[in-house]
Amino acid sequence: MADHSHPHPNYFAVFGALCVLTAVSWFLDEANGWGMFSSRALLITLVCAVAMAKALFVLAYFMHLKFEGRWKYVLLAPTITLAIGLPIALMPDLSLDYYERDPLTGGVAGAEWTPVDSVAKSGAEG
């Protein structure tokens, strides 16, 4: 059985904090609609910070990790390393724009891009 020498945390208070944080992130979305945020980076940072805070509350209190031993670091370290490392590894190929992009088609700006219209041209039967 798990070690219960510590006092039980107030789980309802944790739940309340999680609800407040959810309301905050929904409010941030609404506030963005009112044009409150001039900086896109700030809004993204705030929303991600709220999500991280909620995740840490669940991990520490509901999943009881605050009161567990040092094995939690051994377990989570490779997981978090991969979690951050995999998107970073994929970014150069899929995310970083080396060329100027045409916002309408997503293709390379100025390049000839015609959609494949072979179905219409061949007049395939229905």
Partner 1 sequence: MGLPIPHTKLGTWLFLGTEIMFFTALVGTYIVLYFGTPNWPTDPAVTHINVVAGAINTFVLLASSYLVVVALSALQAGNLAKGKLALWAVFALGLVFLGIKAVEYKGKFDHGILPGQVAETPTQALNKTAFAVVAAVEPSINAAISGGANVDERRLMLGTELIDDDTSADRKNQLQPIRDADQAAQLFRNDILAGKVALAQASERLAILKAEPEYGHLFASVHEPTVIPAGNLFASTYFLMTGFHAIHVIVGLILFAVAIMRIGWLQSTPDRSREKPIQYVENIGLYWHLVDLVWIFLFPLIYILPGV
Residue owning tokens 């995310």? 95
Residue owning tokens 């999500």? 51
Q: Please count the other Cβ atoms lying within 10 Å of the Cβ belonging to residue 50.
A: 19
Rounded distance between C-alpha atoms, residue 57 and residue 66, angstroms: 10
Q: Which tokens is 51 given?
A: 């999500």
- Return the number of the residue (111 or 120) whose C-beta is nearest partner 1: 120
Give the residues lining the site for partner 1 (CB under 8 A). Answer: 1-4, 8, 11-12, 14-15, 18-19, 22, 25-26, 28-29, 32, 40, 43-44, 47-48, 50-51, 54-55, 58-59, 61-63, 68-69, 71-72, 75-76, 78-79, 82-83, 86-87, 90-91, 94-97, 101-106, 115, 117, 119-120, 123-124, 126
- Return the number of the residue (34 or 95) whose C-beta is nearest partner 1: 95
